[in-house]
Structure 1
């Protein structure tokens, strides 16, 4: 019974945490940080790590068909085909240059979404805010 409860709330699965070197950036600056993969109760095969820089749009939500979608500004992929072992922590450093964007005047910050594709079809995501000066 306890196993079913833990599985239903996704306790024990691989998790992802994205950490940026800093939160404030200028156009054309290099964004650097690391993606931390934390193994759960079993080994997981990671097939892809994708970072997507988004400009959030008012009223957008990935869980609704209403409102505008977030605008994708830039994508970066970390080559990673490896097994994250049970309870293991793996750090994947990354670095990419911010392009010069035409941002909406109401945009205060961008979102860096990290999407991990796991071999058996499960996924994990994390989001961090990036402020553009």
Structure 2
């Protein structure tokens, strides 16, 4: 019971890690990798896992309070309603076709954001920078 309470406030809870195959890519490449979700000290439900590929670029509006903007290139969901047992690890593969996207700038890197929506607990996040050549 105590483990469930700790997990619900994020202590010893689910961890998410995104592992990309290549840390640098070209505009005609495919970005591939896996998402690894590690269970915490109690069983939990992963409502969904979303991956978002983002281009960050300088805001052309010099009067704006936001010097950098984000262009979401693609978001998709890997899992829905998965029961993760205590200390269980699951993995899921992903693939982004870089050549399909329209960029707002000539990016030096892309950002891959991973968000695990954990039921009745603190969500888990990961963010990776991929060098764009």
Query: Do both share a fold (TM > 0.5)?
Result: yes
Secondary structure of the residue that 1:56 maps to in structure 2?
strand
TM-fit CA distance, 1:8:
9.7
Is 121-130 or 40-49 further displaced after alignment?
Answer: 121-130
2:17 touches 2:36 (CA, 8 Å); kept in 1?
A: yes
1:35 touches 1:92 (CA, 8 Å); kept in 2?
A: yes
TM-score (norm 2): 0.78
Per the alignment, residue 72 of structure 2 pairs with 72
Distance in 2 of aligned mates of 1:100 and 1:70: 14
- Structure 1 stretches of 4+ moved >6 Å: 6-9
Secondary structure of the residue that 2:40 maps to in structure 1?
coil
TM-fit CA distance, 1:31:
1.3
2:73 touches 2:101 (CA, 8 Å); kept in 1?
A: no
RMSD: 2.5
Gaps of 5+ in 2: 60-64
**Structure with higher strand content:** 2
**How many correspondences in the alignment?**
122
Per the alignment, residue 132 of structure 2 pairs with 132
Secondary structure of the residue that 2:120 maps to in structure 1?
coil
Gaps of 5+ in 1: 60-65
TM-fit CA distance, 1:121:
5.7
Deviations 1:68-98 (A, max 9, x none): 4422121122134311111111111112211
TM-score (norm 1): 0.78
